[in-house]
Structures are given as C-alpha cells and as structure tokens.
Amino acid sequence: MAMSNSTLFKSECFINGNWMSAKNGATIDVHNPFNRELIGTVPDMGISECREAIEAAHVAFKEWRDYTAGERASILKQWHQLQLDHVDELARLLTTEQGKPLAEAKGEIRYGASFVEWFAEEARRTYGDVIPGHGRDKRITVIKQPVGVLGAITPWNFPNAMITRKVAPALAAGCTVVIKPSELTPLSALALAELADQAGFPKGVLNIITTNDAPAIGNEFTSNRLVKKISFTGSTRVGKLLLRQAADSVKRISLELGGNAPFIVFDDADIDKAVDGAIASKFRNAGQTCVCSNRLFAQEGIYDEFLNRFSEKAKGLTMGSGLENGVHIGPLIEDKALSFVKEVVADAQQGGARIVTGGKVSADNDLIYEPTIIANPTTSMKVFNEEIFGPVAPVFKFKTEEEVISLANDTNYGLASYFYGRDYARIWRVAEALEYGMVGINTGMLSTAVAPFGGVKESGIGREGSKYGIEDFLNIKYMCWGGVE
C-alpha cells in the first residue's frame, strides 16, 4: 500500500521498547476488506512472546507507578498530540485495513485521542480521603494505587479508539499494559505503539503482540499471576469465557460485550431528526458497532411516515471504497460477517417481513451489503433477537409506551438505547425504564470521552471514559493510624 514507507506502518510487534518478529518467524497476512488485496504482514506470536511482554510490563510497572501524576500526564499529552498530528496517516491506515469511510476513520482517530487527553488530565485527580476516626487515638486515611499489569484485548471495528479507551486510563493510573489487537486490524495498533515510543513512555510500559491464536493469549492473560486486570471488548460468548477463566485467580475484569440496541420513535417526535438519528446510529461503519441501533420501533400513528422517510434516506447512502470521497457504506469486515447478515435477512423474508429497500449484496463489491430496511418484522425473527452487525434495519410497529418498553427490554443485552419524543414526562419515564447502561434521548450518537461507556445485563461489566473510567485501574487502600494521642 501507499503507506508502506511511512514510519507508522509496522510489520513487527512492540515488546519492552523493541520491535520484534515472532520467534518462529510465523506471520499473519493483513488484507484490505474492500478489494481483498494484501496490505502487509504482522508477527503470529504465541505464549512465549506473550509471557515476555507481560514480564516486561511487570518490571516497567515498578518504575512507572512511581512517576508523579504530572509526569505521567506529560507523556500522555505528548502521545495525544502525536495522534492529532498524524490524523490523516492513521485514518488512511485504519480505512485500508478495516474498510470504514475515511471521514469516519478520521473521526475515530480524534475520538480515540480524546481519551488520551481526558485521562492525562484525570491522572492528577485520583484522590484519596481522610475519614474521621472511630476512636480518639485513631486516624483513617484512604489512598488509591494502580492495580498493576493490564491485559487488553481489542476488536476490529474500532481498532484505534478501543485501544486508547482502555490504555489511556490504565497508563494515567500508573498501570502498564500488554495489548492484543484483532488479527484482522493489527496495523492501527502498531501505529499507536510507534507514536507511544515517540512520546517517551519508558520501555515495557506499553507492549503490543499480534497473534492468530487468540484463545491461547486470552488464557495466558487470565492465568498469569503477573497480570492483575483484564479489559476486553468483543463478543458476549468470549467475554463469558474470559470471566470464567479470570475467576480462578480473582482478577479485576472489565467487559464491553454485545448489544441489541432499541431505537424508539414516539408519535410526537420530530420525524426529520429521528430519521437523521437513525441513519447515523444504524449505518455508521456499515452497522458494525456494538451501539448501533439494532431494532427500530415506530409508533403506529407515524409508522408509515417514518418508514418511508427513513427508507428514502437509506437509498441515498453511497457504497464503495472507504478511501473514496463521499462514500457512506464500506465493506463488511469478512465473509463470515456477510454470511450472517444474509442469513438474518433471509430469515425475516421467510417469516413474511417486507424488504423496503436493499436486501442484497452490492453488484460492485462482494463484501458490501446494501443499506436494508425491513418492514413489519416480528419478535420471533433473528432481526429481533440477534445482534445484526451489518447495515440492516428492521422497523417494528408499536401502540403504547408500556408495550415498547417491554419490547425494548426483551433481550439479554443492555448496552445502548435510543428514543425520540417531546413529552418530557414520558422522556423521564422511558429513560428510567430502559434496562440499558446508556440512553440517547433525541440523538443517535452518544459516545464521548467525558461520559461513562458501558452496559448492564449480558452487555458487560465496568465503564470506560469519564471520571469513572479510571477507577477500575486503581486499588483502594485503607490505612488505620493508631496511637495518635
């Protein structure tokens, strides 16, 4: 690719401040999902290299935790600035390996960098307490200390931001990290490592390994006594497995898992704004985000109007290479993802739902699926019960507030939810009744570094971003002072 001469284009992993190949010489091919061309290769590392990275992080932790908050913040701010200085390069690399439109990729780079800036500032705010003693001769103090080495496992759909969202609070708190990015999109991770090196992090503070054997690395993270915390973003199935494994050593764990987000439009909503919000929420990254609206609900009085306007907007979305100007919908990440999208659409058709627009693979690219709107689906269909992770929007009809709340909550997931309406009493009732960690009210976009990102039920444990995001990387230590007389 054109970036192969860039200093950010790396074909080795980053361990203890050094760029390294796999000990056995094995590599992983990285392909552009739009044209399936080979972009480059990265090391296919195993348990040996993973342990080396963990040990390097453990040694570095002893030094890094003793840096003042201001010293850590200074290096994080430099890393933040370098990411902003290289937005165009990072975005082009991201689009090439992941497929999303370049404008979205640039947005992701800036979004990812915002977590580094935020937590650089939060490093100085990990306050403790002085508590009134329980006896005249007693004094009580509470301090917060970094937990230790973090094992981070990140997904392919946001290969930049999912790293910075985990790593920035860990580093700010004084932890060190070993990151395993997705084997489908490792280049963005390695580019971040290069910029971290330029920013001046001490050796071993940030390490990245790439592998085709994710289960083995996950098992090493959960079983290695030097790893004190796990942070994972990915499928609920894998998250449950890591949770079980981490239980054996009672490790701290954060999980950001699957979603089945409802998007509700009440009859008093601003339809134009609701349509725009639905387009932004559903079709960003071709529907491949955990907070995408998955099930859309329109009240019966405005159902047809919303469906028609939504469909017309979806028809206007441009498909193609993410590197081309004006493209809204890029390719799905791989054939397996495409097969699942085709499966859920076929299931809806067989059950009697109507395809309003889309419903097939693009004639110009075999990994691009047309923006698809489905009318009159039912709750027995896969589009209601499964996380679609593609550009497919089923629109359900409902009558009452009580009915739609019941439908929206009828899932094991509880990550993001959205609704549009103008009745403020109802807004409060619905927002409180939705069983989700995040609620977008009259907006289809809710992710920001300043707010806590995370879910309830089977969508995960813990929060990322905001003042709450650093707490999972800190241990609370209570000190009781006696003999103060």
Looking at the annotation, which residues are catalytic?
256, 290
Cα–Cα distance for residue pair 303/81, rounded to 1 Å: 47
Cα–Cα distance for residue pair 102/34, rounded to 1 Å: 13
| 408 phi and psi angles, rounded to 5 deg | -60, -40
Structure token digits, residue 323: 């590197």
Instruction: Identify whether the C-beta of residue 269 lies closer than 8 Å to the C-beta of residue 296.
Output: no
Structure token digits, residue 133: 């003693």
* Amino acid at the residue 466: S
Structure token digits, residue 208: 């990245």
Instruction: Identify whether the C-beta of residue 264 lies closer than 8 Å to the C-beta of residue 404.
Output: yes
Bridge partners, 229 (sequence order): 150, 252
Nearest Cα to 131, choosing from 467, 474, 476? 476
Cα–Cα distance for residue pair 89/222, rounded to 1 Å: 34
